């Protein structure tokens, strides 16, 4: 069984009402990344945020400065986002990745491709109507091919974000036609908390994806849940030889410690499960080697 790779999902576009420990500024993100790396994460995923207000930012300088500080603070593989779901312009989606790659000190290691176009419907019990009327996360085959090619052209390894079984079929097709590498990290997303676009964040919701991970590709899959506690899914992944993507960007984790844990405390909770299950945790160097990164 592969050593457990943990991706710390540091901030997404989540605000601090429910947990004040979500990092915004490059300094905060780098400090948090280093603490997660010490706790057992070998990949860190972040979105650039306005340092003061936390508003989403697509400023390449902010992305690069954050990567520079992360690299100065730890060895974790660096995975910035590949554009917000509202950004449709191709140059804008990949621009920060290309800008960062101009300097080895700020180059991203991984770039996430969402292998599906998704209607981002919002609904939970008690809502009279479904929200998200105009929210479509648009990822046509042509856009995905272009994003993968442009990331690889600047030495950044694509990874896959999986929303449904169809995404896994696209992954297989892309791996066999050279769009994606033969060895690929793939995060299997489930969604809760009102986002109804993904599979439910239950073991069954996750398993429906795991069962369709293609055998013909060296796919290193990770369990993830946006909008709810993913520790039970993490345990299932750890038992099955999968990996884990988790953090305060997805959910505030009031169940851990004092009720307002740090990202590092969330990672420590995953490592504790791994130890209990007898699964070794991969170092950043081991994760890099396993994913075929330089």
Does 263 bind Zn ion (CB under 5 A)? Our answer is: no
Toward Zn ion, which CB reaches closer, 9 or 68?
9
Q: Which is nearer to Zn ion, 59 or 239 (CB)?
A: 59
Please, which residue, 12 or 65, has the CB nearer to Zn ion?
Answer: 12
Told to check if 14 binds Zn ion by CB under 5 A, we report no
Closest approach of Cβ 278 to Zn ion, in Å? 31
Taking the CA of residue 133 as centre, how many other CA atoms within 13 Å lie in the half-sphere pointing to its CB? 1
Neighbours of 112 (CB within 10 A): 23
From the number of C-beta atoms within 10 Å of its C-beta (0-12, 13-18, 19+), residue 163 rates as buried
Q: In which residue are the tokens 């998704």 written?
A: 118
Check residue 66 for interaction with Zn ion (CB under 5 A). no
Distance of closest approach, residue 66 Cβ to Zn ion, in angstroms: 13
Bridge partners, 52 (sequence order): none
Q: How far is the CB of 126 from Zn ion (least distance, A)?
A: 28
The neighbouring-strand residues paired with 46 are 80
- Taking the least distance from each CB to Zn ion, the nearer of 12 and 192 is 12
The span of 77-85, 113-121, 164-172, 205-213 binding Zn ion (CB under 5 A) equals 77-85
* Cβ neighbour number for residue 191 with a 10 Å cutoff: 23
Instruction: Kindly tell me which of 36 and 274 has the beta carbon lying closer to Zn ion.
Output: 36
Helix axes 141-153, 90-100, angle to 10 degrees: 20
Q: CA dist 51 to 66, 169, 280, Å?
A: 11, 39, 36
Which among 36-44, 75-83, 94-102, 282-290 is the span making contact with Zn ion, rule CB under 5 A? 75-83
Q: How far is the CB of 176 from Zn ion (least distance, A)?
A: 27
First to last CA, the chain: 22
Shortest Å, Cβ 84 to Zn ion: 9
Q: Decide: is 42 part of the binding site for Zn ion (CB under 5 A).
A: no
Residue 76 contacts residue 284 (beta carbons within 8 Å): yes
Q: How far is the CB of 258 from Zn ion (least distance, A)?
A: 26
Residue 229 touching Zn ion (CB under 5 A): no
Closest-by-Cβ residue to Zn ion is 81
Among residues 58, 81, 190, 229, the one that binds Zn ion under rule CB under 5 A: 81
Single out the residue of 153, 137, 45 nearest to residue 94, CA to CA.
Answer: 153
- Rounded to whole angstroms, the Cα distance separating 148 from 249 reads 24
Residues at the interface with Zn ion (CB under 5 A): 12, 81
């Amino acid at each position: 069984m592969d050593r457990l790779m943990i991706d710390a999902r540091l901030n997404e576009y989540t605000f601090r009402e429910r947990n004040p420990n979500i990092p915004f500024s490059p300094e905060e993100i780098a400090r948090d990344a280093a603490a997660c790396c010490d706790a057992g994460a070998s990949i860190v995923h972040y979105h650039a945020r306005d340092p003061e207000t936390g508003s989403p930012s697509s400023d390449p300088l902010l992305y690069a400065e954050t990567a520079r500080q992360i690299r100065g603070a730890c060895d974790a593989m660096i995975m910035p986002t590949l554009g917000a779901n509202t950004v449709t312009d191709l140059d804008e989606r990949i621009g920060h990745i290309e800008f960062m790659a101009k300097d080895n000190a700020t180059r991203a290691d991984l770039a996430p491709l969402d292998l599906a176009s998704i209607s981002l419907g919002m609904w939970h019990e008690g809502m009279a109507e479904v929200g998200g009327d105009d929210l479509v996360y648009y990822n046509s085959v042509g856009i995905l091919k272009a994003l993968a090619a442009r990331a690889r052209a600047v030495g950044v390894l694509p990874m896959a974000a999986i929303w449904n079984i169809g995404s896994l079929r696209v992954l297989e097709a892309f791996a066999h036609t050279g769009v994606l590498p033969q060895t690929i990290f793939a995060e299997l997303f489930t969604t809760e908390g009102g986002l109804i676009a993904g599979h439910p964040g239950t073991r069954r919701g996750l398993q429906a994806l795991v069962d369709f991970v293609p055998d013909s590709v060296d796919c290193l899959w990770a369990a993830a849940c946006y909008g709810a506690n993913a520790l039970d899914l993490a345990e299932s992944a750890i038992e099955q030889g999968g990996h884990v993507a988790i953090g305060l960007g997805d959910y505030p984790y009031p169940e851990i410690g004092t009720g307002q844990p740090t990202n590092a405390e969330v990672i420590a909770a995953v490592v504790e499960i791994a130890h209990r299950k007898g699964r070794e945790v991969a170092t950043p160097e081991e994760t890099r080697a396993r994913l075929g990164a330089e």
